[in-house]
Structure 1
Amino acid sequence: MDGNNGTGHRRVVAALDGVGMRRHTTGQVILDNVGWTVRAGEHWALLGPNGAGKTSVLRLVGATAFPTTGTVDVLGHRLGRVDVRELRARIGHVSTSQRVPGDLTGHTTVLTGHTGTVQPLWKSYDDEVRERAGTLLAELQIKDLADRPYGVCSGGQRARILIARALMADPALLLLDEPFNALDLPSREDLIDTMRHLALNRPGLSTVTVTHHLEELSPAISHALLLREGRVLAAGAVEEVLTQERMTDCFGRPIEVSRHAGRWLARSGGFA
């Protein structure tokens, strides 16, 4: 299953073909013959056990790593034949491990997305750029965080600020590496609402979200990629991939999967 049924007319945003990755120091296989295509407007969930290769795949499509074998094309450019610094500037990346000075306000943190820097470069931010940062805070429903120091924001608030920051470059591709990590229930739900609104308001935007829990998937998720031991177990429309059989194969234990009002639930089988 290639996940392209009915979407062949859409522009390819990222494509992996026969991709393999090995650890330079040990020769350990990290990815093995991975093929995957992301098209404009698709919203992918990237799932699999620890060590399955999720982070490596995200690094490839984020142009921060190169394959050992095979080809990786991102936004119309092949890795190895393009200045990756320019390419990375067109890709939004959100990770809870991103280092942001705690004394920066929400608005200033978003501003730094314009220059891709940790510290603000004030001479680079004209009135139009500053207004854009404010507009993004409003779009993500966190305008009240504009003057709040990043360091005192909650985990969910930080995640939404980082998404606004990533959107400053108006990317065609947004990568989210475990954005729900350590969030409480209200913060998780706020972030899920944010992802749903983004999908509705930005029809051309493609997203890839790495997560460990189906409960963290927004109703906007349209596709899923399951990885196990560096190989693609399944990829395609979310309702065809997130089945009990495939999730059981992926995680190596019985998994019961259900869906209600567009939201997913997974639990280990065998309970009364």
Structure 2
Amino acid sequence: MSNTPANNPAASNSASRATQPLETHDDLLIDFRGVELRRGGNTLVGPVDWQVELDERWVVIGPNGAGKTSLVRMAAAEEFPSKGAAFVMGERIGKTDMRDLRAAIGMSSAAVQHRIPDNEVVQDLVISAGYAVLGRWREQYDDMDFDRAQDILDQVGAHHLAERTWGTLSEGERKRVILARALMSDPELLILDEPTAGMDLGGREDLVGYLGDLALDADAPAIVMITHHVEEIPYGFTHAMILDEGRVIAKGLINSVMTSKNLSEAFHQPIQVDRIGDRYFARRIRSARKSHRK
């Protein structure tokens, strides 16, 4: 008798499982399983196993070229993984309508900024996020939409910019406006790619404070934030992932991940990480030099 799936129950069950569609848990907004992203024969990130739940706030940190933006572009339904299974809000990337999925994700990034015309009015840019378009066209909005846009601009410290055009804004002002736009659609998942880049110290601390308050809000969306700098991590963030050259150095609860050992490995130099209150600070450890007297 031949040993085929038809007459071998174990083999038949195995084949059946292999053809069944993968599923993810309802509480997971991001569920990456062995995910890789490759371009031109190079692996930009992965393999990565990563799960983000509804009430979690993640920071992804690492040096330039670590794969941070590549990772979150997949989480934002902007890139297809080259390998592995990537679920976002219960939908598998590559097996669903990416446009519908993107509409449910708040995204603040330089890539979004570069697509905005200089003559776009700030208020129109923010309010149009509900239709996932850049600026107003023929969509109809009611007073509630305008009130919400004004409230969000006020929350991020950009209320005074409502009537300005995009081309007249400084880099710091643009960061605030693009964050307001990301929040306008009341997303389930908020992805922030270097939200404080280009800001001066005062502006950065104001925005970090706002993001900290947002992180502590039980009704706020799950947050994933990219940064190069430990000092930019807001209070209230619960988890961290450290990347280097596409691979995961460490991930998990933020207090166990943000260590001198892990940061030193990722940045390839001796790093001292200190926690002061609810914030983290990092500096390079200088080698002790022996003094020589003549």
**What residue number does 2:122 align with?**
106
User: How many Å separate the matches in 2 of 1:176 and 1:248?
Assistant: 24
Q: TM-score, normalised by structure 2?
A: 0.83
The answer on whether the counterparts of 1:96 and 1:181 sit within 8 Å (CA) in structure 2 is no
Unaligned 5+ segments in structure 2 are 1-24, 289-294
Deviating runs (4+, > 4 A) in structure 1? Answer: none
Aligned residue-pair number: 262
**What residue number does 2:104 align with?**
90
Mapping of residues 132-143 of structure 1, within 5 Å: 132-143=148-159
Residue 251 in structure 1 maps to residue 267 in structure 2: yes
Unaligned 5+ segments in structure 1 are 1-8
Match for 1:38 among 52, 57, 61?
Answer: 52
The answer on whether the counterparts of 1:159 and 1:191 sit within 8 Å (CA) in structure 2 is no
After TM superposition, give the deviation of residue 74 of structure 1 in Å: 0.5
AA partner of residue 72 (structure 2):
L
The answer on whether the counterparts of 2:172 and 2:197 sit within 8 Å (CA) in structure 1 is no
Q: Which moved more, 1:259-268 or 1:147-156?
A: 147-156
Residue 53 in structure 1 maps to residue 64 in structure 2: no
Relative contact order, higher structure (CA 8 A, sep 6+): 1
The answer on whether the counterparts of 1:40 and 1:204 sit within 8 Å (CA) in structure 2 is no
The answer on whether the counterparts of 1:13 and 1:39 sit within 8 Å (CA) in structure 2 is yes
User: How many Å separate the matches in 2 of 1:38 and 1:30?
Assistant: 21
Q: Which moved more, 1:127-136 or 1:196-205?
A: 196-205
Mapping of residues 94-243 of structure 1, within 5 Å: 94-97=108-111, 98=113, 99-243=115-259
Give CA-to-partner distance per residue, 1:139-167, whole Å, 9 cap, x none. 33432222233333333332121111111
User: How many Å separate the matches in 1 of 2:259 and 2:42?
Assistant: 30
Give CA-to-partner distance per residue, 1:91-142, whole Å, 9 cap, x none. 0100134133333333222112122222312433233322221222233343
Question: Of the two, which has the highest radius of gyration?
Answer: 2
User: How many Å separate the matches in 2 of 1:115 and 1:203?
Assistant: 22
User: How many Å separate the matches in 2 of 1:193 and 1:114?
Assistant: 26
Give CA-to-partner distance per residue, 1:176-206, whole Å, 9 cap, x none. 1112222111111111012112223353411
CA RMSD of superposed structures (Å): 1.9
AA partner of residue 145 (structure 1):
L
Give CA-to-partner distance per residue, 1:199-228, whole Å, 9 cap, x none. 233534111111110011111221110112
The answer on whether the counterparts of 1:20 and 1:31 sit within 8 Å (CA) in structure 2 is yes
**What residue number does 1:4 align with?**
none
User: How many Å separate the matches in 2 of 1:157 and 1:122?
Assistant: 27
**What residue number does 1:12 align with?**
28
The answer on whether the counterparts of 2:179 and 2:195 sit within 8 Å (CA) in structure 1 is no
